[in-house]
Structure 1
Amino acid sequence: MLKPILSSLMIVVSALGFNAEAEQSQIGQNTQFIVPAGPGGSLDIVARKLQDLLMQKKLVSNFVVLNKPGAGAQLALNVMDQNVGNPNYLMTLPTAIINNSYLGMIKTTYKNYTPVVMLLDGYVGVLVRSDSPFKTARDLVEHLKKQPDSLNIAIAASLGNDVHVGVAKALMLAGVDISKLTFVPFKSSSESITNLIGGNVEVVGATTPTIIPALQTGKVRVLAIGSPERLKGVLGDVPTWKELGVDTITSSPQGVLAPKGIKPEEVRFWESAFKQVAETQEWKQFLEQNQWAPRFMTASETMAMLEEETATIEEVLSKLHIKKQ
């Protein structure tokens, strides 16, 4: 009697083991990648390039990009919350999550999820019209030191985000009282630049993918860029803040976030997949085209970086005196 029972138990255990292996093998077969922004922006562009290369290299069998803009990334994070422990739900990881959490725009933090990798850095630049009286970043800084509330500075898409912090951080370290600056939010950086050219604002803060086409129109001038060293191509003549004596890097990093509760081996699967993408020539050319810098980090490295970013972001936001929600 005992022998049949043991045999049945072995069959059950074996079946459970098989099911676990089968479940593990499903990673990447039906992946949903959530973008907390609308189509056409930098977050969306990166997500669709990842989709293209992951599929092209056969690292996944199905990878669907879904746009869930709104509420400071809360709508996208809601999808993560509904799929705890599911490794086939991923999301763009923008450091703006830190900003929005500090400001109360979202009711959670990155610590309630699983950072998977960091992929790239986009740098924040400061633009004026070509006919602006501010010929250099020093001209702008000296003016703002004397009259900090005299200019309208456009940023996208919300007060307190990474672009806002990037511009404010550089000006703060240059000696400007950033609590008195006038920042005007627009829905997109393209809209900010349109209003700059139209004379509705005097200064714009934006990241490199938006700056490049604007600069090529000949209607704007870039005063400074927050990269660690000079960029290439059309931005090769733009000085960095460091060159101007302001020791800062103003960036807008992007990575990948997963729901809470996924297994270490599942994290390693995605680390490996995204690392293989990051090593392709196509990815490197894509970054160069948009003047993004490669910044691949593992899950543990990404978590450490986010902790450092939190301290810096909260310092700047506290001095901007933005009212918490």
Structure 2
Amino acid sequence: MGTVNILRNLLLPILALGCLPAAAAHAANAADAECLVPSKPGGAMDLTCKLARKALQDAAGGPPLKLSYLPGGVGAVAWHTLVSQRRGEPNTLVAFSGGSVLNLARGKFGKASVDDVRWVAAFAADYGMIAVPANSPYRTLGELLKAMRREPKRVLIGMSGTIGSQDWMKMALLARQAGLDPRKMRFVALEGGGEQFIAMEAGYVQAISGDVSEALLNPGKVRVLAVLSEHRLPGVLANVPTAREQGYDAVWPVIRGVYMGADVPEKDYRRWVAAFAGMETQPEFERMRTQAGLYPFALTGDALTRYVKQAVANYDRQAEQFNLTRPH
């Protein structure tokens, strides 16, 4: 996978931020601006907030977007903290992904609704992937799935969340096509991508179901067996085949963005929407997004809210395929 150090690149000074629109600079100047990461450090949620922080940072050296970590419940702790205690804070953002939306749709956040928060911006896309340690005997997706079918108790999969989570759904789609009952998969429920890679490096799990950007944060330590995209991805993973190329019809895009509290004043909400909309048009942001192993995707404000509501409906239909019932 090469020796590209994505974390190092993300932490390089951003010299071209002076070209960002005034709305972005104004948003970044808020002394109490904060991005809540709903996982432990090191995963894709962490990366989402870091990307937003770097892109919105004040070129004149003003206060950056502060990062705070609220792991727990694969996003549930951060969600409920914002909704119950911080729903009116005008400068507090929370990172989310397509997996967050899936958890919301499946009732993992309790009696929560899309309308409990205000959806600010989705500014990048990621893709699902299946990976093993760099020294693993499994060199293709087919070999891994064959081993899971032949000796399911010997292949332990690391994933964020439990049955019905995004990582579980990705692996379930593949397992079912390989003739394996998804409910017989052996897996360990972990808290975010950082924990997954730590567990795999320590030998606690033999493979992980995660996201491409997380694999790029661990160069040289993993072998990506398949990317769940429609076509091969450019860059470091250009030689990794898609699941479709290997005979498994599974495509899983993952959007990445931020939301904020439902009681945030309209003017503050629109200020942040404008900041991210302007940010996404800048060449410097495109460079940072590429360095982070992410791909173009841009929706803000009302358009993003409509997208999330449709995604919830789509996830519900997918869950029905695996007879997953929503908690009441």
TM-score, length-normalised on structure 2? 0.75
| Structure 1 residue 115, shift from structure 2 partner | 0.9
1:67 aligns with 2:84: no
Match of 2:278 in 1: 276
| Structure 1 residue 208, shift from structure 2 partner | 2.1
- Is the 1:27–1:87 Cα contact (8 Å) retained in structure 2? no
- Is the 1:277–1:283 Cα contact (8 Å) retained in structure 2? yes
1:54 aligns with 2:56: yes
Dislocated runs of 4+, deviation >6 Å: 24-27
Pair 213,90 (structure 1): closer, same or farther in 2 beyond 3 Å: closer
Deviates more, 1:239-248 or 1:310-319: 310-319
Pair 239,260 (structure 1): closer, same or farther in 2 beyond 3 Å: same
CA distance, structure 2, for counterparts of residue 37 and residue 282 of structure 1: 27
- Is the 1:159–1:183 Cα contact (8 Å) retained in structure 2? no
1:166 to 163, 170, 177: 170
Match of 1:247 in 2: 249
Pair 296,175 (structure 1): closer, same or farther in 2 beyond 3 Å: farther
Pair 31,246 (structure 1): closer, same or farther in 2 beyond 3 Å: same
| Structure 1 residue 203, shift from structure 2 partner | 1.9
Match of 1:88 in 2: 91
1:182-225 superposed Cα distances (whole Å, 9 cap, x missing partner): 111234534434443554332222222331254524xx422101
Q: Which runs of 5+ in 2 are unaligned?
A: 1-25
Secondary structure of 1:222's counterpart equals strand
CA distance, structure 2, for counterparts of residue 61 and residue 215 of structure 1: 31
CA distance, structure 1, for counterparts of residue 278 and residue 88 of structure 2: 24
Q: Flag the structure with larger Rg.
A: 1
Pair 81,208 (structure 1): closer, same or farther in 2 beyond 3 Å: same
Higher relative contact order (CA 8 A, sep 6+): 2
Question: What is the identity, as a one-letter code, of the residue corresponding to 1:291?
Answer: G
| Structure 1 residue 174, shift from structure 2 partner | 5.4
CA distance, structure 2, for counterparts of residue 55 and residue 195 of structure 1: 33
Pair 197,264 (structure 1): closer, same or farther in 2 beyond 3 Å: closer
- Is the 1:196–1:202 Cα contact (8 Å) retained in structure 2? yes
- Is the 1:152–1:201 Cα contact (8 Å) retained in structure 2? yes
TM-score, length-normalised on structure 1? 0.76
Match of 1:185 in 2: 189
CA distance, structure 2, for counterparts of residue 125 and residue 286 of structure 1: 21
- Within 5 Å, which residues of 2 pair with 1:21-32? 28=30, 30-32=32-34
- Is the 1:152–1:182 Cα contact (8 Å) retained in structure 2? yes
1:196 aligns with 2:195: no
Secondary structure of 2:248's counterpart equals coil
CA RMSD after TM alignment:
3.5
| Structure 1 residue 315, shift from structure 2 partner | 4.5
CA distance, structure 2, for counterparts of residue 122 and residue 35 of structure 1: 17
CA distance, structure 2, for counterparts of residue 206 and residue 139 of structure 1: 18
CA distance, structure 2, for counterparts of residue 247 and residue 310 of structure 1: 21
Match of 1:16 in 2: none
| Structure 1 residue 317, shift from structure 2 partner | 4.6
Match of 1:97 in 2: 100
2:130 to 126, 131, 145: 126
CA distance, structure 2, for counterparts of residue 196 and residue 256 of structure 1: 29
| Structure 1 residue 258, shift from structure 2 partner | 1.8
- Is the 2:45–2:96 Cα contact (8 Å) retained in structure 1? no
CA distance, structure 2, for counterparts of residue 314 and residue 42 of structure 1: 24
Deviates more, 1:113-122 or 1:29-38: 29-38
1:165-190 superposed Cα distances (whole Å, 9 cap, x missing partner): 23323433555421221111234534
CA distance, structure 1, for counterparts of residue 134 and residue 89 of structure 2: 50
| Structure 1 residue 26, shift from structure 2 partner | 12
Match of 1:291 in 2: 293
1:117 aligns with 2:121: yes
Aligned residues: 300
CA distance, structure 2, for counterparts of residue 98 and residue 239 of structure 1: 27
Deviates more, 1:258-267 or 1:121-130: 258-267
- Is the 1:129–1:202 Cα contact (8 Å) retained in structure 2? yes
CA distance, structure 2, for counterparts of residue 182 and residue 258 of structure 1: 36
CA distance, structure 1, for counterparts of residue 263 and residue 177 of structure 2: 40
Match of 2:304 in 1: 302
| Structure 1 residue 80, shift from structure 2 partner | 3.8
Match of 1:18 in 2: none
1:30-79 superposed Cα distances (whole Å, 9 cap, x missing partner): 43332222333322232133223323257x97643332222443332323
Match of 2:46 in 1: 44
